[in-house]
């Protein structure tokens, strides 16, 4: 993104619009992203609580639970 006269503009790569399911080469899909987010947010929540940032810890736990739910529901669908 570049800034022009106080407004942000998006630079384009010359390719057409990407759908929400397109992944750049070498990156995992949404399930892998959700698993990574669940793990990382759990670590961040512990760090927040260690420093008495209780609301931040609570919000990060909510992120973790949402990510874990996504992973759980996706794995349940793939089993059927």
First to last CA, the chain: 43
* Per-residue pLDDT tens over the stretch 33-48: 999 999 999 999 999 9
Using DSSP, state whether 4 is helix, strand or coil: strand
Of 60, 66, 23, nearest to 40 (Cα)? 60
Q: Show me where the domains of the chain are located.
A: 28-80
51-55, 66-70, 75-79 — which is least confidently predicted? 75-79
Is the pLDDT at 80 greater than 70? The verdict is: no
User: What is the reported pLDDT for 78?
Assistant: 72
Residue 54 has pLDDT above 80, yes or no: yes
Q: Say yes or no to pLDDT of 60 above 60.
A: yes
- Regarding pTM above 0.95, the answer is no
Q: Name the residue with higher pLDDT: 80 or 58.
A: 58
């Amino acid at each position: 993104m570049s800034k022009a006269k106080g407004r942000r503009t998006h630079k384009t790569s010359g390719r057409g619009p990407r759908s929400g399911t397109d992944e750049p080469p070498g990156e995992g899909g949404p399930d892998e992203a959700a698993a990574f987010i669940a793990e990382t947010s759990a670590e961040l929540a512990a760090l927040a609580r260690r420093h008495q940032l209780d609301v931040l810890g609570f919000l990060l736990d909510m992120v973790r639970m949402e990510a874990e739910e996504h992973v759980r529901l996706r794995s349940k669908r793939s089993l059927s």
